[in-house]
A and B are shown apart, each in its own frame.
Chain A
Amino acid sequence: MDYQFLQYALITSMLVGLASGVIGSFIILRGMSLMGDAISHAVLPGVAISYMFGFSYILGATAFGMLTAGIIGFVTQRSRLKNDTAIGIVFSSFFALGVILISFAQSATNLYHILFGNVLAVRESDMLMTAIVSGIVLLFVFIFYKELKITSFDPMMAKAYGLNTTLVHYLLMFFLTLVAVVSLQTVGTILVISMLITPAATAYLLTDRLAKMIFISATVGVLSAIIGVFYSYSYNWPSGATIVLTSAVFFTLAFLFSPTKGIVFSRNKTKKNAES
């Protein structure tokens, strides 16, 4: 079938939109957008080493993602530096290491595709891997929903009643890494952060309930993927960038027209509140 590649591309990017929309909701509520960006960049050396030694890039990338999360935590705890500084240092170093390693490991997937993604080149095996990872991520959020919610809103209360908040943090980092890794082919390392935070931020502006926010975020992620792939294919635009810009359009609409938090209607709302 001629359009098989398009089918793979569409399904894969929808799955990525779904998984990153769900995980991304927790990332923005915990104020960890920069951490998300860091991990998605820092997986690069893992990808390079996997190609060099011929094992699945999922393994190498995940290992480096977790290593990054661990080192950032360690540097933040053991120095006077603030978290964002620690993140900046660690991820740019790993990213630089990745760029050098990739130059040694000139492979079928070149640097440009890793950096910017090329969803139209996705193979069946990649699609299956994305499906498995998305399934695991959804299962994780379903099982740990309570723990994720409370550690995002009031981690000290959670710690006081005995919840292992550090474990929850690193579990979330692990699944964030997995999502970042499978997003590589769709949007590329550099734009993964957009898939994680733009749909979630859009949803955040549209509702005051966490469950609804996750649902809307996932929906915006999937819609951005569908529309993005469509335009990318029709006009021969780079796929990752097209998906990202689509989600940015959704965000802009919510920013302007959200019934409760958009800047266009917020004046009416203030008036209504004053009356009631």
Chain B
Amino acid sequence: MSKNEISVKDLTVAYQGKTVLNHVSTVIQAQKFTGIIGPNGAGKSTFMKALLELVPKISGEVTFDGRSIKTIRKKIAYVEQRSELDLSFPIDVLGVVLLGTYPSLRLGQRPGKKEKERAKQALAKVDMTDYENRQISELSGGQLQRIFIARALAQGAEWIFLDEPFVGIDAVSERKIFAILDELKNEGKTIVIVHHDLHKVEAYFDEVILLNKELIAAGSVDEVFTSENLQLAYGEIIGQLVKGVMEK
């Protein structure tokens, strides 16, 4: 088993008696870029939240680098869907990135010079230094996503989880963010993304987990992203459509 690999065994999640995820077992490769793909209501976000124990599970075991999540939590960065956050919260860009330093601080300890330096370096890395003092509601979706990535950097996270980071973001920003994430991957971070848009999957991800309430397929993009698997996940028509687009 490679370092920092995430192993998922028999993960089942239910909300109020309805099964959302059924006996999912898979491995998320370390230092790779993994996309969680599937139709609406397939349980993609739930899968991510269940990995991180943000929602209760019925059964299953998830290990990070062979260990329980409890021992490595401070190295996990999670970025929720933008629509779930209150963007009018009284906080500026640097303030958001500084939140990434909180896991390393004691109770009652404030971020000091060292932490501010770390936050500023992270901001520079995502090219957002000029926006340091902006209130977050003034930012575009792409800029916001970049400062959340900067927050993960300031945290020194080994595992970065992003839930639908590209929703409502223009193509230029999307490419920019991907370039940043690619760099992070090359530095050894493990990156997992919930993604709903099929046409960029092959260009962006190394690995894909295809879900529809249960595991349809998992592995490298070439292995998984086939019309047979897509038909299984999305139904016949969409599977064929996507296949058609892919062949052009």
Contacts and interface: CB of A to CB of B under 8 A. Distances in A.
B1 interface: no
A156 B78 contact: yes
Most buried by A among B76, B78, B84, B109: B78
A144 B107 contact: yes
Interface stretch (A5-13, A37-45, A82-90, A145-153): A145-153
Contacts of A210: 89-91, 95
A209 B92 contact: yes
Interface string B93-122: 001100100110101111000000000000
Given A142-B108, A143-B107, A156-B80, A208 B90 contact: yes
Contacts of B96: 153
Contact of B74 (A159, A162, A207): A162
Contacts of A208: 90-92, 135
A39 to B, nearest CB: 22
A274 interface: no
A138 to B, nearest CB: 13
A160 B92 contact: no
Nearest to B157: A161
Interface in A147-176: 147, 149-150, 152-154, 156-163
B85 A153 contact: yes
A255 to B, nearest CB: 15
A97 interface: no
Contacts of A153: 85-86, 89, 91, 96, 99
A153 B108 CA distance: 18
Contacts of A162: 70, 73-74, 103
Given A80-B16, A142-B108, A144-B107, A150 B99 contact: yes
A160 B90 contact: no
B52 interface: yes
Contacts of B73: 160-162
Contacts, number: 81
Contact of B54 (A149, A150, A160): A160
B103 A161 contact: yes
A57 interface: no
A53 B85 CA distance: 47
A213 interface: yes
Interface in A61-90: 80
Contacts of B77: 157, 160-161
A156 B84 contact: yes
Contacts of A80: 16
A204 interface: yes
B155 interface: yes
A29 interface: yes
Nearest to A162: B73
Interface of A: 29, 31, 80, 142-147, 149-150, 152-154, 156-163, 204, 207-210, 212-213
30 contacts: A29-B86, A31-B86, A80-B16, A143-B107, A143-B108, A144-B107, A144-B108, A145-B110, A146-B102, A146-B110, A149-B91, A149-B99, A150-B99, A152-B89, A154-B80, A154-B99, A156-B78, A157-B79, A157-B80, A158-B102, A160-B52, A160-B73, A160-B76, A161-B102, A161-B103, A162-B70, A162-B103, A163-B103, A204-B90, A210-B90
**10 tightest Cβ-Cβ pairs between the two chains A and B:** A162-B73, A160-B78, A208-B135, A161-B103, A143-B108, A156-B80, A210-B90, A153-B89, A213-B90, A208-B90
